[in-house]
Each structure stands twice: as C-alpha cells, then as structure tokens.
Structure 1
Amino acid sequence: MEYLYVFLGLVLLVVGGEFLVRSSVALSFRLHISKMVIGLTVVSFATSAPELLVSLQAALNGFSDISLGNVIGSNIANIGLVLGITAIISPLAIDKGFYKLNWPVMMVLSVALYFILKSGKVITRSEGVALLLMLLVYLWVLIKHAKNERSTMPVDDSIDEGLSKTSNFKIIVWLLIGGVSLYAGSEFLVNGAVTLAEGFGVSERVIAVTMIAVGTSIPELAASVIAALKKEKAISLGNLIGSNIFNISSVLGITAIIQPIFVKSEEVLTNDIFWMIGFSAIILPLIFLPKSYQLGRKRGILLVAAYAIFIGMTILK
C-alpha cells in the first residue's frame, strides 16, 4: 500500500505543479506582467511548489530529515540527473548570466546553508527570513539585469502566449485543482515514504534524498527533456540552476518561517550537503575546461554517472 501512496503522491504533485504553473502564468498575464518577468519569477516559483509542499508537510509532521533531504536531494538531482540527461540529448547553451549571477548565487546559498545547519543544527525562523530576503535580492538583480539585456536576451518560448486569453473562472478552477493536488500529493508522498523507510529499515533521510528528491524533480526533468528533443529553443543552463536557488531560499526559507527545521541525521551534514556543494561547484570547470562554453554529451554522461554513484552510496550506507 505504501508503494501506491508514493506513486499516487508523485502523480498528484506532477499534476498539481502543472496546473499551478498554468494558472499562475494566466493570472500574471491578467495582471499585465511581462512575459520575461513571468519566466524569471512566476514560473520558477510555481515549479518549486512540489518541493515546498513536501518539505512543509514533512516539517509540520515532525520529519525534518525529509524536509532537508528533499531540498538537498532535489538540488543534486537537478544537476546530476536533469542537467546530465538534458546535456546527453542536446548540448546546453551557456549564457553570461550563468557564471556572472546564477552560479555564484547558487554557490553562496549552498555554502551558507551548510554553515546555518552546522551552527545550531536547525534552520530557525529568523534564518528562514534571511534566506527569503536573499531570494528577493536575487530576483531584483535578476529582473534588473534581464531588462538591461532585453535586446539580446531570448524570450522564454516555454510560456504559452495563449494563456493570456484564459478566463477568470478557468484560472480559479486551475488554481483549486493545483492547490488540492499538491496538498494531497504531499500528504500521500510523505506518509508513504515514512512507511516505506520503516519497512526497508532505512532512515527517512535516505528515502528523501533519493526517491522523493527525484519525484519532485520530475517536472524540471520532463520540461528539459521535451525541450531538448524538440530543439525548439536553446536550453538555458542559468534557468535550470535557478531552480536550485529557489529550492534553498524559498522552499527552506518559507518552511523554516512556518516550522523550524531541525537536523536529525548526522549524515545530512557529513555527507549529503557536501555532495550538493560538490555537484554545484563541478559545473564551472566542466564548462570552461577545456574551453568550450557548453555542456555536451560526454560531460552529461559524467554528471549522470556521478549521480548514480551518489544514489548507490546513499542506499548502501
């Protein structure tokens, strides 16, 4: 039965995330927000909703390891699995925003998270506020930079222009379906994962950084793979990295403000977070050494292989 709960939870999270993205974009058009700003803010936040709901639900139920494992594991999966598979299918284009803004911010947040957790083995409400404020500063810089680069910056083709004609009734229905699906999905996934962990005799942390993390990264993986297969537009590495920034700053930030997140498993500090920082750091040399300014098939295979090693070592431990 726990397998059914986990499967149902993942399906509901994917469905809920899709409806939330569509309703959020449609609502943004109604509010006359530019397509560029929608892509940089609304879509990014909406795609982080599954991680947020799962982490919040887990923290409220007293399973802090699932909250942390979900975010740390998702960030590792976004780079090792999502970037890796996408690069294998089609080389990733490198934009200036990656090494001038997105990568440095991701690294700062990743290292900051380590020191926050190490200092008191808890993310307090005030630290949650600080993480959220860092996100707001990042978004302000991102939008300002995007407006300055408007003439050379490609428009995000993944945003459906047809959503601008969506009726208010449909937007409300989509929001309700998205919200209910995400809530129910997070309930099923957290409860199923805890039962599964007990059945296999492993910790909630192991289930969180592997199964749950991959599950909540499915929307990003699906979108990236479809875009790579269709070759409709250049896939921006910066946009994919942006998901990791949102996961740390908004998911953990908002969750900690509502319910402080405690470190219950020592492995989070001695193993998992170092894998996350390592995956984040390795992207830069992979892109620039040798000098090529793109993430190609061989490097994609390397990332996926490294991710497989991480999963194997986590489960075997």
Structure 2
Amino acid sequence: MSLVWLFLGLILLVVGGEFLVRSSVAMSLKFNISKLVIAMTVVSFSTSAPEFLVSLQAALKGYSDIALGNVIGSNIANIGLVLGITAIISPLAINKDLYKMDWSMMMLLSVVLYFFLKSGNVLNRWEGAALMLSLIIFLVVLIKRSRKASEADVQNIDKTLEVTSGFKIIVWLLIGAVSLYFGSEWLVFGAKEMATSFGVSERVISVTVVAVGTSVPELAASVIAALKKEHAISLGNLIGSNIFNIASVLGITAMIQPIAVNSTQILSSDMFWMIGFAAILIPMFLLPKRFEIGRIKGFILLGAYLFFVFTTFRV
C-alpha cells in the first residue's frame, strides 16, 4: 500500500507543479513582468514547489531525514541521473560563463549547507534566512547581468499564456495548490510506510525514491528535449534547480520549522556525495573536450549515480 501512496503522491506533485508553473507565468505576463525575470524567478521557484512542499510537510511532521534527504537526493539526481541520461541521448554544449556564476553559486551553497548542518546538527531559522537572502542577492546580480541578452533568448516561456483569462489562471492556481498539498502529504506518508515495510531508514528512501520522484519533471523535460535534439533544457537549468533547492526549499522550510539532522549518514555520506557531484562538473567542463558534456561523460555521471544508490541501500 505504501507504493500506491507514493505513486499517487508523485502523480499529484507532477500535475500540481505543471499547473502552478502555468498559472504563475500567466499571472506574471498579465502584469507585464519581463520574460527574463519570469524565467529566472517565477518559473524557477514554481518548479521547486514539489520539493518545497515535501520538505515542509516532512519537517512539520518531525521527519527531518525526509526533509533533508529530499533536497540532497534531488540535487544528486539532477546531476547524476538527469544530466547523465540527457548527455547520453544528446551531447550538451556548455556556456563558457556558466561556471563563473551558476556553478560557483551551487558549489558555495553546497559547502555552506554542510557547515550549517554540522554546527549544531540543525538548520535553524537564522541559517535558513541567510540561505534565502543569498538567493535573492544572486538573482538580483544574475538579472542585471542578463539584461544584456535579448528577450528572444529566454527559454521555457509559453507565449500563448499571455492571453490567458483571469478565471483560468485562478482555476489553474487552485488545481496546482490542491494537487501539491495532497501530493506532498501522500508522498511523505508513502515514504514513511515504505521505509518501515522494507526495513530501511527514512533517509535511504528520501535520498533515492522520494528525491527521484520530485526530480521527475526535470528528468522528463530533459529527456524529451534531448530526443528532439533541442537544447532548451540546458545544464544551466539543472544547476539553477539545485541552487533553488538549497536556498529556497531548505531556506524557507528552516525559517518555518528548523530542520534537525537525525541520521549521521547525512553528514558523513550524503552531503559529500552532493558536493562531489557538483565539484566533478568542473573537470568535465574542461577535459578532455572543453565545454561539452558528451556521451562518455554522461555514462560516467549515470554510473556514479547508480553506485551512489547501491551504496546508500547497502549501508
């Protein structure tokens, strides 16, 4: 029965996330907000909504390992699983400026999160606020730098949403909110039950099954784009998702409910895996073929991710 709750929760999270993105973008366009700003703020925050709801629900219910494991596992899955599979299907060209801003921010937040968690074994409200503030500063700098780019270069904005009626926006928003709420409830409940029935810890289920579940939208979009030979879903989108997961998902969750570290493996293993997957991107950017993630590199990432899952269940 735990699998049923988990499956239903995942479906509702995917549906809810899609409706929330569409309603948020349509509302922003209605208020004549720049497409560039929408792409970097509204869309990014909306696509992090499933992770946020799952982590918040888990933290409020006292399942801190699920709250942390969800984000840590999602960040690992975004690089190892999603980027790995995408590169295997179709090699990705890398923007030369990517590692100067986006990668550096992801790496910085990953390391800062480790030290926040290590100092006291809890992510408290002040630390959550610091993470959120860093995201706001990062977005302001990023938007200012990106204003030189043409609006035509902005990706993932559906222009047909500009003529969406106010009634339809409200309906989409309600469907998204309700789906996300019940999806997160059922997913957390299913994860808890699955951990019990399989005799493994909540942490193991959260960094693997739950994390992959909340990364399903990124995985589906990336695979479809790769099959179509389109590169609208770039490495930048995945790194941006990881930045939002740490800074906004954990940041806001900790501001509402401090997140305790209950499992020692989170600090001794999972965090190092997350930092390692982030760090390995730099040599992959530069060696042997510069600024391209090809099929061989994709197989390396996917293999490393499968090894991570194997070792996680073995512990």
Specify the code of the residue in structure 1 equivalent to 2:260.
F
1:2 equivalent in structure 2: 2
Distance in 1 separating the partners of 2:31 and 2:303 = 44
User: 8 Å contact 1:93–1:234 — kept in the other structure?
Assistant: no
1:50 equivalent in structure 2: 50
Distance in 2 separating the partners of 1:129 and 1:6 = 31
In structure 2, the CA distance between the partners of 1:97 and 1:25, relative to structure 1 (3 Å rule), is farther
1:149-298 aligned at under 5 Å gives the runs 150-151=149-150, 155-298=153-296
Deviation at 1:234, TM superposition (A): 4.6
User: How many residue pairs align between the two structures?
Assistant: 315
Deviation at 1:15, TM superposition (A): 0.3
Specify the code of the residue in structure 1 equivalent to 2:70.
N
- Which portions of structure 1, spanning 4 or more consecutive aligned residues, are displaced by more than 6 angstroms? none
TM-score with structure 2 setting the length: 0.98
1:208-249 Cα shifts (integer Å, max 9, x gaps): 000000000000111111111122345421221000000000
User: 8 Å contact 1:50–1:186 — kept in the other structure?
Assistant: yes
In structure 2, the CA distance between the partners of 1:315 and 1:13, relative to structure 1 (3 Å rule), is same
Percent sequence identity over matched residues? 67
Specify the code of the residue in structure 1 equivalent to 2:41.
T
Specify the code of the residue in structure 1 equivalent to 2:180.
L
2:61 matches 1:61? yes
1:98 equivalent in structure 2: 98
1:28 equivalent in structure 2: 28
User: 8 Å contact 2:96–2:291 — kept in the other structure?
Assistant: no
Distance in 1 separating the partners of 2:262 and 2:230 = 44
TM-score with structure 1 setting the length: 0.97
- 3-state SS, counterpart of residue 224 of structure 1: helix
Specify the code of the residue in structure 1 equivalent to 2:293.
L
- 3-state SS, counterpart of residue 96 of structure 1: coil
1:116 equivalent in structure 2: 116
Specify the code of the residue in structure 2 equivalent to 1:244.
N
In structure 2, the CA distance between the partners of 1:175 and 1:65, relative to structure 1 (3 Å rule), is same
2:72 matches 1:72? yes
Distance in 1 separating the partners of 2:121 and 2:64 = 11
1:37 equivalent in structure 2: 37
Instruction: Identify the range of structure 1 (56-65 vs 89-98) with the bigger mean alpha-carbon deviation.
Output: 89-98
Distance in 2 separating the partners of 1:25 and 1:131 = 25
1:83 equivalent in structure 2: 83
1:111-146 Cα shifts (integer Å, max 9, x gaps): 000000001100100111000000001100110111
Deviation at 1:291, TM superposition (A): 3.8
2:139 equivalent in structure 1: 139
2:311 equivalent in structure 1: 313
Deviation at 1:157, TM superposition (A): 3.8
Deviation at 1:2, TM superposition (A): 1.1
Deviation at 1:158, TM superposition (A): 2.3
Unaligned runs of 5+ in 1: none
1:36-56 Cα shifts (integer Å, max 9, x gaps): 211111111100000000000
In structure 2, the CA distance between the partners of 1:154 and 1:289, relative to structure 1 (3 Å rule), is farther
Specify the code of the residue in structure 1 equivalent to 2:239.
I
In structure 2, the CA distance between the partners of 1:272 and 1:123, relative to structure 1 (3 Å rule), is same
Deviation at 1:154, TM superposition (A): 5.9
Distance in 2 separating the partners of 1:92 and 1:232 = 10
Distance in 2 separating the partners of 1:205 and 1:259 = 18
Distance in 2 separating the partners of 1:34 and 1:70 = 32
Distance in 1 separating the partners of 2:147 and 2:241 = 20
Distance in 1 separating the partners of 2:53 and 2:308 = 25
Specify the code of the residue in structure 1 equivalent to 2:108.
V
Instruction: Identify the range of structure 1 (305-314 vs 83-92) with the bigger mean alpha-carbon deviation.
Output: 83-92
Distance in 2 separating the partners of 1:36 and 1:86 = 25
User: 8 Å contact 2:70–2:207 — kept in the other structure?
Assistant: yes
Distance in 2 separating the partners of 1:142 and 1:224 = 23
